[in-house]
Structure 1
Amino acid sequence: MTTLDMFKLDSWDQLPAMPIYMDQLLQLVNQMLAPLNIPAVTKTMVNSYVKQHFFSRPVGRQYNRNQIVAVLVVTILKRDFPLGTISQAILAIRESRLIEKRYAEFATAFEQALRHQPVMVSTTEQTTRAIQFAAQTVAYHLLTEQALA
């Protein structure tokens, strides 16, 4: 097995329930995503995500689960998608008010693709399909890079 075969995003319940500060956010996200060999998230990037309305401003300089998930997903997706496309997706997910469910859909599709397992895209629900397709796109890109290395 390769590092990608074993990669797993923390589940919603594994993410901090209490708000965390920027340094903790950066450490958590960068540690979790390190096996993907993608550029580390910086304070400047997180501040840019806030300015671009990927998620709301932190309260008391602390970030909650919704914001942590947004940083994780944006960081993964920006490997293959322009920020404008990601912004549309994030907005649709926020408006659905199903952030926990959508994160689980993303994580499942991403991890299954990395494990060479078929991702069942049997729903006609557009947001779920878009999430699954996006997760697979990035996963297959990472697998391609690994195969060529």
Structure 2
Amino acid sequence: MAPTDLTRFKLIRWDELPTVPVYMDQLLQLVNSALAPLGLPAVTKTMVNSYVKQHFFSRPSGRRYTRNHVVAVLVVSILKVDFKLPTIGKAILAIRDSRQVAARYQTFCTAFEKTLRAEALQPATDTMAVAIQTAAQTVAYHLLTVQTLG
């Protein structure tokens, strides 16, 4: 991946995600195509089922996954670069319990993308936003470092 590729990376926004629940194959296609430019390992059915078993998010209803599920899989897949699953799980649960999934996901997207582009971030206004920004920056800097070192 050329250095400019990461600077142009853009995560799928909340409003761009399917509004109707999707099946596992659709979820995997959506997540894997979104994350492909980052060079991360592909997400598998086994991984998603493991996240459900670890209570990172609720079981799908009728084998169909909502936007919340898609966002959780996207974020977990990115954060796994630098954080252990128990830490990620605590963060995902705290965000879910806050009932601000869309807003928190936007915070993550903005912090991740701005860090990849070396743009300044607005200072976070609450503890959860600080944690989200810091985690997103950590992974973005890691990916930039790996890319630079080859």
Kindly provide the amino acid, as one letter, of the partner of residue 49 in structure 2.
N
Match among 60, 63, 82 for residue 61 of structure 1: 63
Kindly provide the amino acid, as one letter, of the partner of residue 60 in structure 1.
G
Tell me the residue number matched to 2:138. 137
1:64-83 to structure 2, matched below 5 A, reads 64-83=66-85
* Residues 114-143 of structure 1: CA deviation (Å, up to 9, x unaligned): 0011222242x1100000000000000000
1:1-149 to structure 2, matched below 5 A, reads 2-123=4-125, 125-149=126-150
**TM-score scaled to structure 1, two decimals?**
0.97
Distance 1:25 1:122 in 2: 30
* Structure 2 spans left out of the alignment, 5+ residues: none
Q: What is the identity percentage for the equivalent residue pairs of Structure 1 and Structure 2?
A: 66
* Structure 1 spans left out of the alignment, 5+ residues: none
**TM-score scaled to structure 2, two decimals?**
0.96
